[in-house]
């Protein structure tokens, strides 16, 4: 199960200027994937387990960009590697949200995206921005009193967060995150619960050693299963794809694990790789009989993204030069904070529901007397969850300590 929440806050500030638009053209999924990799590398230097939803972050920033003008809008979209017109960007996020949210009633995969716009009461919002919020981003709109009681406003938003993530993320907004200068908070929450296409049998779990990045060796519970799966290996790393069950008329999601051969080689691998190289190997995979041995893991990650976004080129939206006049007709708004929190849990979930599929595969393997390849993730590794239909990376993270 994966739970993500991103918050973007806007406060009162100043002026603006503009540059010529960037004419470079790339597809929206490719652009967002480039952003995902750049942001992950920017924040991934921390020696801790990390998981973010670049989709969630980009959705909220695009939401804000729809109310921006001139260079403010250009910097946001350039950082996201989105070069289409803003109307196209907004409509595409709305289409993706509709497509992913159609699985709400499915048992195989539940993927829910929720947006909320929290405004200072009596704030005048342009009808054009309100239309985008409701039609493209499907946002609920709530009035609160940041000026009179930021505490009550914080409690109300945290309650919404808790409900949107089914209790997995609580108290996202902490003391001081909003104050009397806050005029608007854009919230985005993503909740995903998926069943493996080839589930792990809990009876095959084994205790084993995991070699943390800090040199410590710890005991971990490894899930074990032998299946025919998309797999490829290079001289320095190997890549394995673990598909989730695809619901009728729903997205086809896959978890990809990239494992360095050297147990101390994770950061060298990350620095030497591009997302395009990883994606190319995804296309080059072969169906192989693989003994999969991966650890169960669960963790929460919270990060402030302002410095990382500034490093990637998004400076003006945080300054007094910001122009968000497309929101209220004035140039008195700027982004004060961008916060992101994520929870992920990977285990044997769905084993009973998918047992028949597992039996069918194992029957096929009886005819193959080839010894399975061993894929044992007992040291730091990279993981991505993406939509196979369009290649869009929804989640990206690393497991370096257990």
Tell me whether the CATH fold assigned to 2-194+299-344 matches the one assigned to 202-295+349-399.
no
CATH class for domain 2-194+299-344? alpha beta
For residue 175 the two structure tokens come to 């003391």
Q: Residue 285 in contact with residue 232, Cβ under 8 Å? A: yes
What residue segments make up the domains of the chain, in order of their start? 2-194+299-344, 202-295+349-399
Long-range contacts of 131-139 (CB under 8 A, 24+ apart): 132/63, 132/66, 132/67, 132/90, 133/63, 135/94, 136/66, 136/90, 136/91, 136/93, 136/94, 137/59, 137/63, 137/90, 137/93, 137/94, 137/97, 138/94, 138/97, 138/113, 138/114, 139/63, 139/115, 139/186
- What is the rounded CA–CA span in Å between residue 294 and residue 222? 5
Q: Residue 77 in contact with residue 65, Cβ under 8 Å? A: yes
pLDDT tens digit sequence for 306-336: 899 999 999 999 888 889 899 889 888 888 8
Topology of the domain comprising 202-295+349-399: Alpha-1-antitrypsin; domain 1 (2.30.39)
Q: Max CA-CA distance within the chain?
A: 72
For residue 252 the two structure tokens come to 């086809």
Region 109-117: mean pLDDT is 81
Region 161-189: mean pLDDT is 80
Which residues, in sequence order, are bridge partners of residue 225? 292
DSSP state letters, 91-133: HHHHHHHHHHHTTTT-SSEEEEEEEEEEEETT----HHHHHHH
pLDDT tens digit sequence for 51-89: 888 988 999 899 999 999 999 999 999 999 999 999 999
- What is the rounded CA–CA span in Å between residue 251 and residue 396? 17
């Amino acid at each position: 199960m994966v739970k993500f929440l991103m918050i973007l806050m806007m406060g009162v500030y100043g002026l603006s200027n503009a540059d010529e638009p960037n004419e470079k053209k790339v597809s929206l999924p490719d652009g967002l994937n480039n952003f995902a990799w750049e942001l992950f590398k920017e924040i991934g230097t921390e020696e801790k387990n990390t998981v973010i939803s670049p989709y969630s972050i980009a959705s909220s920033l695009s939401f804000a960009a729809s109310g921006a003008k001139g260079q403010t809008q250009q910097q946001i979209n350039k950082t996201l590697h989105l070069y289409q017109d803003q109307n196209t960007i907004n409509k595409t996020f709305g289409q993706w949200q509709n497509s992913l949210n159609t699985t709400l009633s499915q048992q195989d995969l539940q993927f829910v995206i929720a947006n909320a716009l929290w405004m200072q009461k009596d704030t005048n919002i342009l009808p054009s921005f309100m239309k985008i919020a409701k039609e493209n981003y499907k946002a609920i709109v709530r009035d609160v009193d940041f000026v009179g009681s930021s505490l009550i406003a914080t409690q109300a938003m945290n309650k919404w967060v808790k409900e949107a993530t089914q209790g997995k993320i609580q108290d996202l907004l902490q003391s001081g995150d909003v104050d009397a200068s806050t005029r608007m908070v854009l919230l985005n929450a993503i909740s995903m619960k998926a069943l493996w296409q080839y589930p792990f049998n809990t009876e095959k779990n084994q205790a084993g050693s995991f070699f943390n990045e800090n040199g410590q060796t710890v005991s971990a519970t490894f899930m074990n299963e032998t299946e025919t799966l998309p797999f490829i290996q290079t001289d320095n790393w190997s890549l394995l794809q673990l598909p989730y069950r695809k619901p009728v008329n729903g997205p086809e999601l896959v978890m990809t694990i990239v494992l360095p051969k050297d147990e101390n080689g994770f950061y060298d691998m990350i620095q030497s790789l591009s997302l395009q190289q990883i994606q190319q190997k995804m296309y080059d995979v072969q169906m192989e009989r693989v003994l999969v041995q991966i650890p169960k893991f669960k963790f929460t990650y919270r990060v402030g993204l302002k410095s990382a976004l500034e490093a990637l080129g998004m400076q003006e939206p945080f300054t007094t030069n910001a122009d968000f006049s497309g929101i209220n007709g004035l140039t008195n708004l700027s982004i004060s904070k961008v916060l992101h929190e994520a929870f992920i849990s990977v285990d044997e979930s769905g084993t009973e529901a998918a047992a028949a599929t597992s039996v069918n595969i194992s029957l096929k393997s009886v005819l193959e007397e080839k010894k399975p390849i061993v894929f044992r993730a007992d040291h730091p590794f990279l993981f991505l969850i993406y939509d196979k239909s369009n290649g869009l990376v929804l989640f990206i993270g690393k497991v370096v300590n257990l």
